Copies of this chain bind each other. A is one copy, B any other.
Amino acid sequence: MNAISGLHEEALLAERLLARFAELGADPKGGITRPAWSEAETACHDALAEAAAARGLAVHRDAVGNLWLAPEGLGDRPAPACGSHCDSVPQGGNYDGAAGVVAGLLVALRAARAGIALRAVALRAEESPWFGAPYLGTRAAFGLLDPAELAQPRRGDGLPLAACIARAGGDPAAACTGRPLPEIARVTAFWEAHIEQGPVLLDRGLPAAAVTAVRGHLRHPAARCLGEAGHSGVVPRHLRRDPALAVAEFLMDLDTLWARQEQEGADLVLTAGMLSTEPDAATPTRIPGEVAFSLDIRSADPAVLGGMERVLAERAAEIGRRRGVSFALGRAVRAAPVALDPRRAAAIEAALPRPFAMASGAGHDAAEFARNGVPAAMVFLRNAGGSHNPAEAMDIADLMAGVEALWAAIRATGG
């Protein structure tokens, strides 16, 4: 096989597998639905295993149902792994996770041919809608599930997580031992290709990017601003305690700070996803008594998140005092940023036709490996149409650019 026909063969294999995954996940209501630990997810693993076996890889499933594909003769030796997940969100797209699983197979096939020790892996259950939490396949392999999580019903059919693992041929008890399964314990480094879930590569005209970190977040899912309701026509400005204008000022302060931080090169995104006056009481001629809102602030830099947390408290207090309202930011949900391995990220970036590195705003299995002390690296693939929806669109050529970068970086770093 020469290099050019080999590339053609890889691209055709990728296309064929992704088409098969699309068939297996086709949802009559639209888009792709491959629930975690479902028959559709298992069928994707099986299709992958069949393609791997046909090309000489050894097929193995761990005790919680993750699929491992290794060169014959690697045995139990430690080695890097490359892969991602096959499950999707309900009515999602075909490429989130699946692209990285296919890339993992292509990289493992190259490694087998080159005599380099490396396994491909298809992890279970990365998406959170099914059991209310993400990275369950990876966390289960690390032995880190809480026994209480096993009772969690699956969205859609309500089957408890334990039963789902068992039906897929796994042993739910193995997910909660606090000790990693032998397969994941052998992973010396984790490499993952994944579609970019935002528009950055599309906007920059780049096929792929190295990922430096997974952003952490500070989230207030249910913040409120409490003021005083009143007749819209009769209360002069200085006697109002208007929570709508107070929240508008609060958001504008945060937006202004965001713009300034971005100019200074800080990594930051900020979203008020929910905003609402009282649904039953609000009318155009009533000063609202209360505004509910949410905040989601993300950064790859813990110092930026910490700084924003202080700003939130300070601005809420100052605006509250001045406008006669009170902010109740409510429950805070925090996740620390996860740094990916800088040496491997640099190797991926250097291997790209046009070097570019960025932070990931969404979580990934790679971050879960990193949190468990395994060096992790990621390459993002250009993707149109956003993610978690049927419009996801990735070119096979961009997948192949990611595979090239991973492969070059694995050889350059020793894996």
* Chain A residues with a Cβ under 8 A of chain B: 196-200, 203, 215, 217, 219-221, 230-237, 239, 242, 244-245, 247-249, 251-252, 255, 258-259, 262, 269, 271-277, 279, 282-288, 291, 294-296, 298, 360-362, 386-388
Contact = CB atoms under 8 A, between A and B. Distances in A.
Contacts of A255: 245, 248-249
B198 A231 contact: yes
A286 to B, nearest CB: 5
Contact of A295 (B252, B277, B282, B284): B284
B274 A235 contact: no
Contacts of A242: 271
Given A231-B388, A255-B248, A275-B275, A284 B269 contact: no
Contact of A236 (B198, B294, B386): B198
Given A234-B361, A251-B244, A252-B248, A284 B262 contact: no
A236 B284 contact: no
Nearest to A243: B275
A247 B295 CA distance: 16
A233 B273 contact: no
Nearest to A217: B233
Nearest to A297: B232
A271 B296 contact: no
Contacts of A215: 233
A275 B273 contact: no
A200 B239 contact: yes
B237 A262 contact: yes
Contacts of A272: 244-245, 248, 288
Question: Closest 10 interchain pairs by CB?
Answer: A233-B361, A198-B234, A234-B361, A232-B271, A284-B294, A248-B251, A248-B248, A232-B296, A274-B282, A221-B284
A279 to B, nearest CB: 7
Given A248-B252, A273-B284, A200 B236 contact: yes
A198 B284 contact: no
Q: What is the count of identical protomers in the complex?
A: 2
B295 A235 contact: no
7 contacts: A198-B230, A200-B236, A231-B361, A235-B269, A244-B271, A244-B275, A249-B255
B276 A275 contact: yes
A113 B249 CA distance: 58
Contacts of A245: 251-252, 255, 272
Interface centre among A262, A274, A282, A387 (most CB of B within 10 A): A274
Contacts of A252: 245, 248-249, 252
Given A200-B239, A231-B388, A274-B284, 11 more contacts: A199-B239, A200-B236, A230-B386, A232-B361, A233-B362, A234-B360, A236-B262, A244-B271, A245-B255, A245-B272, A284-B296
Nearest to A361: B233
A198 B276 contact: no
A231 B196 CA distance: 11
Contacts of A282: 273-276
Contact of A239 (B203, B232, B277): B203
Contacts of A283: 273-274, 294
